[in-house]
Structure 1
């Protein structure tokens, strides 16, 4: 599976998992960061070691067309500051991984919200990418308990642990979330408010 990915260090587990599955990375998209809330130094260093091109500017339709010309099938979004153009004319799949139990807590900084609101339970989700942020068809989500003394670091670790068992690790050719993702990224079944069967193992 040839893929491109957007991410920061906080979401690097997605890249690591895809690489362990034998997927072929074509490009990493990230953005200029000051390291105060998000950082991407680990991502950029890993890309340099592996010879993966890195782009620090927004994805354009020309970028998507270039990926398609290289045989890219899937765009994975782990963390990104900008809206992605319509990907459907160019790629078979585009999936966003969001650190909240969607449809709850769409948008930026959901982990901060979980801590401030002292949630008893939180989760991670993956969904089809649409033009409105975090609005696409829900492909899967997994819930877990929040500790009474949860911190941003421990909550990030829990999310990373859940994503590390993403089932792409067992397949070189299957799209993210397996059969729940059909051609051009439409969900095979379910909708954003549904609770589908587990995609993680």
Structure 2
């Protein structure tokens, strides 16, 4: 019961806080999927505004379901001059020239994520920059074999939470991804004993 009361009290605090003013022109809401770069940046701009104005402190964004041939993002590669769709690029990674095509598209996606992080890094909020408090996890879950393991991930931001950057780590099958989730939860003040198949917290990402 006390936990419910605390959530109600936290919600009531927002009633007296005026809604922040933002420039509606700062986000291009007319862009469509035919221009993937502008489309993705508009989506990241929306996320940026949500964090900058403290409208939310938690957000998820799935660019596309690469296992599905009917999603908007599946056509992004062709729109930027690559052959085939996203799903086809993943399956063709093992063929001649396939890795190059998929690599170019991965680079394109990473550049848009970098755009989002740079905006946060350059924007003060209160006494710290938007970059220092939130942590951001970026990655993919598709390959030509549809096996969801050993994927490259990017953990960014969160320097104010004790996360450190500038290094690359490669883990074996004995370190489940859920260990990272447990570590991130602990950093934001939500300690848990475990999550899914987690075995321990991770020390490598911590300063």
**TM-score range relative to shorter protein:** under 0.3
**More helix as a share of residues:** 2
**Structure 1-normalised TM-score?**
0.28
Structure of greater Rg: 2
**Structure 2-normalised TM-score?**
0.27
